[in-house]
Structure 1
Amino acid sequence: MKNIIYSYATVFLLVMTACGNKNNETTTSDAETESDAIVVTQDQFSANNFVLGGLEERSFPDVVETSGMIDVPPENRASVMAFMGGFVKKTPLLIGDKVKKGQSLVTLENQEFVQMQQEYLQVYNQLDFLKAEFERNQTLFDEKIASQKNFLQAKSNYETAKAQYQGLREQLQMLNISPSQVEKGSISSLANIYAPISGSVTKMNVSMGSYVSPASEILEIINNEHVHLELTVFERDILKVKKGQKIEFTIPEASNETFKAEVYLVGASIDDAKRTIKVHGHLENEDHTGFLPGMFVNAMIMTDTKNALSLPDEAVIESEGSSYVLKLVSQDAEGYTFEKFHVNKGHSFGGFTEIKSADLKQGDQFLLKGVFDLIGG
């Protein structure tokens, strides 16, 4: 009898223990459910200017992400060099100075300039005599009075002098020395170098008294009136890129603003080492101030479009490497209950983010404004 009583007591304790565990599990489960839900009262919702909204179907572009730089056409960039060497006699310019086409940039001094002008003047003064001698011998030869030898010698002397005259004249003009002034007896050891284009001085490689050797760069001028994008696209993406496609780009080191351009030219050959190709883009607004050649840009080339469900960018929060939204679970007079819902993001464009999730539909409501205040990032 005593053993039977002990058995009943044991069974009673086991049943009570099991019931206690079941109640604990239920309590724990309820707590976890409550912790996943975010409740916002009506007063909180209004005070924080929270906004509800649904998924919206929008057009999203397929993009090719690339990078490059701001550049100018070759005709807007000039390297100024000297035809002949010389010492810098005058150089009033600094980097950043604006110059106009034809403006004097640098004055060089060299005694060889004097020698060249003397040779030119000497040939110039002989030319009339040699021409007259040639014509006289030609007449005599035609009349069979002078020998052919004398005629050919006179012709050779005149043609040689004329070639020297033309060559020296061209050299003087390349030095910006006026041949007509030399013909009047005006000889100078100085030669000016003039600006081939209008623009701004971006490099200055000489100073007063320094020697400039032939073909060495004295300074550089860049005209920023027409700038363009020079982008680098990888081989795997190049078949997607076509002339006329829209480009959106940013200059991350200088501005958060997004600028627009258009594909104007796609390169015709691939860089063997990098397996890339150059894409030339024209800016939509060339009057925008502040663009300088050499600025680094991040760009997106819009290659195609597709329709997709989306939410505003601020409705999607990144947390621990995943993306989340706050989905409305219930709403009553006291407030709103939201659920933190994991989603897969697609492209972001125009302030909206593509939402990829089979568990969401257009009738669902989400918190569009104020998500970061509730769950952070």
Structure 2
Amino acid sequence: DLLQGSRVRAGQVLATIRNPDFVQLQQDYLEARSQLAYARAEYERQGELYRQEVAPQKNYQRAQAEYAALQVKTNAQAARLRLAGLPIGGRIVSTALLRAPRSGFVKAVNVSLGQSVTPTDVLFEIVNPEHLHVELTVFEKDIPQVKASQLVRFSLGNDSVSHERTAHVYLISKTISAERTVRVHAHLDREDEQLLPGTFVRAVIETNRVTVPTLPEKAVVQYGAQAYVFVAANTATKAGQATYRLVPVTRGVSEDGYTELHLPAAEQDRPLRFVVEGAYSLLGPRDCHAERSRSISTASSTPFNGAVEMLRQAQHDGRYSLCK
């Protein structure tokens, strides 16, 4: 009655197998056990006679050898019964119980009622969702940068950027595949029931963590070949209004919706407040970019009630953190 996806526990009966050879296995064991009992008694008797110098030593040695040989035979027969899932001793049965070796979920059922099977057939496939690992495929040229204990950030195909999971590199393969890639094995930092074995993931290995100033990509406006950000000016304004000035910046690396920015030297030693929402609305329509840009550059003022954020230098996942 097992179906694909069913949960099983270790030791649970999965199937019953009937085979006439099971009877012979149990018979061989019971016969060997009876012979062992006789050999043990004979061994003890011959030992007593030898110590009393009534029987020769060779009789004692022969009984000792026969007893040892039957011990080996009996143990071997018992091991065969355990492998077949048959009871050791007791009444003889013609069926064996196939039990789950571990807890988990049934991945595949490859047998049906009444089907003949062989010892090499795979009847059930069971996967254990606990202690999942992440197997990454890394290009050969990038492997020198990968080291054990490095942080791995990964997500599923339908996950948002904010829903990332983390792991750490545990093992790096020493072989290169025909596709010139290397397997990297990572351990999850936290168990997640939503993860299933065989799921494809998108992953990034943090090979080098550097703290750099960043802003959301939507805070950077592009005008011509130059990138700019809007900074709140200190000019006094009417209540409910604010003035902003345009500051040229140099873009760096972009990742996860953030862009590394390099400010002019004159702006680096002062606290700044940046526009992170509605920055492009300050430029206005494309047909009046030149006029708006000119007025902003000369007058350094334009009213805007959008959100601003203070950039403070603090390491947080490899970037400066932003706080209102």
1:243 equivalent among 140, 148, 161: 148
Quote the Cα distance in structure 1 between the aligned partners of 2:79 and 2:88.
9
Quote the Cα distance in structure 1 between the aligned partners of 2:228 and 2:211.
23
1:180 equivalent among 78, 86, 89: 89
Highest RCO, 1 vs 2 (Cα 8 Å, sep ≥ 6): 1
Match of 2:77 in 1: 168
1:259 equivalent among 155, 164, 172: 164
**Shift in CA distance, 152/134, structure 1 to aligned 2, threshold 3 Å:** same
Whether the aligned pair in 2 keeps the contact of 1:230 and 1:281 (CA below 8 Å) is yes
Whether the aligned pair in 2 keeps the contact of 1:246 and 1:260 (CA below 8 Å) is no
**Shift in CA distance, 120/306, structure 1 to aligned 2, threshold 3 Å:** closer
Quote the Cα distance in structure 2 between the aligned partners of 1:226 and 1:128.
48
Whether the aligned pair in 1 keeps the contact of 2:23 and 2:94 (CA below 8 Å) is yes
Seq. identity, %? 33
1:369 equivalent among 277, 287, 290: 277
Q: Which amino acid aligns with 2:206?
A: M
What's the CA shift for 1:295?
0.9
Residue aligned with 1:258, SS: coil
Match of 1:118 in 2: 27
2:217 equivalent among 313, 317, 326: 313
Match of 2:295 in 1: none
CA RMSD across the alignment: 4.0
Q: Which amino acid aligns with 1:311?
A: L
Match of 1:105 in 2: 14
How do 1:86-235 residues align onto structure 2 when only pairs under 5 Å count?
92-143=1-52, 145-146=54-55, 150-181=59-90, 186-235=91-140
What's the CA shift for 1:188?
0.5
**Shift in CA distance, 323/345, structure 1 to aligned 2, threshold 3 Å:** farther
Whether the aligned pair in 1 keeps the contact of 2:85 and 2:97 (CA below 8 Å) is yes
Q: Which amino acid aligns with 1:118?
A: Q
Whether the aligned pair in 1 keeps the contact of 2:43 and 2:67 (CA below 8 Å) is yes
Whether the aligned pair in 2 keeps the contact of 1:248 and 1:261 (CA below 8 Å) is yes
**Shift in CA distance, 365/264, structure 1 to aligned 2, threshold 3 Å:** closer
1:281 equivalent among 165, 186, 193: 186
Residue aligned with 2:129, SS: coil
**Shift in CA distance, 311/150, structure 1 to aligned 2, threshold 3 Å:** closer
Q: Deviations over 1:312-333 (max 9, x none)?
A: 1224589xxx99857669x999
Mapped pair 1:346 → 2:253: yes
Quote the Cα distance in structure 1 between the aligned partners of 2:94 and 2:263.
81
Q: What are the ranges of 5 or more consecutive residues in structure 1 without an aligned counterpart?
A: 1-91
Match of 2:205 in 1: 301
Quote the Cα distance in structure 1 between the aligned partners of 2:249 and 2:164.
32
**Shift in CA distance, 342/354, structure 1 to aligned 2, threshold 3 Å:** closer
Whether the aligned pair in 2 keeps the contact of 1:95 and 1:204 (CA below 8 Å) is yes
1:290 equivalent among 194, 211, 227: 194
TM value normalised by structure 1 = 0.59
What's the CA shift for 1:242?
3.1
**Shift in CA distance, 305/133, structure 1 to aligned 2, threshold 3 Å:** closer
Determine which structure has the larger helix proportion and give its number: 1
Q: Structure 1 residues 290-299 or 172-181, which shifts more? A: 172-181
**Shift in CA distance, 201/372, structure 1 to aligned 2, threshold 3 Å:** farther
Residue aligned with 2:74, SS: helix
Quote the Cα distance in structure 2 between the aligned partners of 1:323 and 1:303.
31
What's the CA shift for 1:309?
4.7
Q: Structure 1 residues 162-171 or 354-363, which shifts more? A: 354-363
Quote the Cα distance in structure 2 between the aligned partners of 1:316 and 1:245.
31
**Shift in CA distance, 135/356, structure 1 to aligned 2, threshold 3 Å:** same
Whether the aligned pair in 2 keeps the contact of 1:323 and 1:342 (CA below 8 Å) is no
Q: Which amino acid aligns with 1:353?
A: T
Quote the Cα distance in structure 1 between the aligned partners of 2:273 and 2:50.
110
Quote the Cα distance in structure 2 between the aligned partners of 1:278 and 1:312.
34
Quote the Cα distance in structure 2 between the aligned partners of 1:311 and 1:345.
11
Whichever of the two has the greater Rg, that structure is: 1
Quote the Cα distance in structure 1 between the aligned partners of 2:122 and 2:285.
60
Quote the Cα distance in structure 2 between the aligned partners of 1:360 and 1:207.
78
**Shift in CA distance, 372/171, structure 1 to aligned 2, threshold 3 Å:** farther
Q: Which amino acid aligns with 2:260?
A: E
Whether the aligned pair in 2 keeps the contact of 1:109 and 1:189 (CA below 8 Å) is yes
What's the CA shift for 1:142?
4.8
Quote the Cα distance in structure 1 between the aligned partners of 2:150 and 2:32.
62
Q: Deviations over 1:226-280 (max 9, x none)?
A: 222222233333333333332221111x322532323241325132534443333
Residue aligned with 1:311, SS: strand
Whether the aligned pair in 1 keeps the contact of 2:47 and 2:60 (CA below 8 Å) is yes
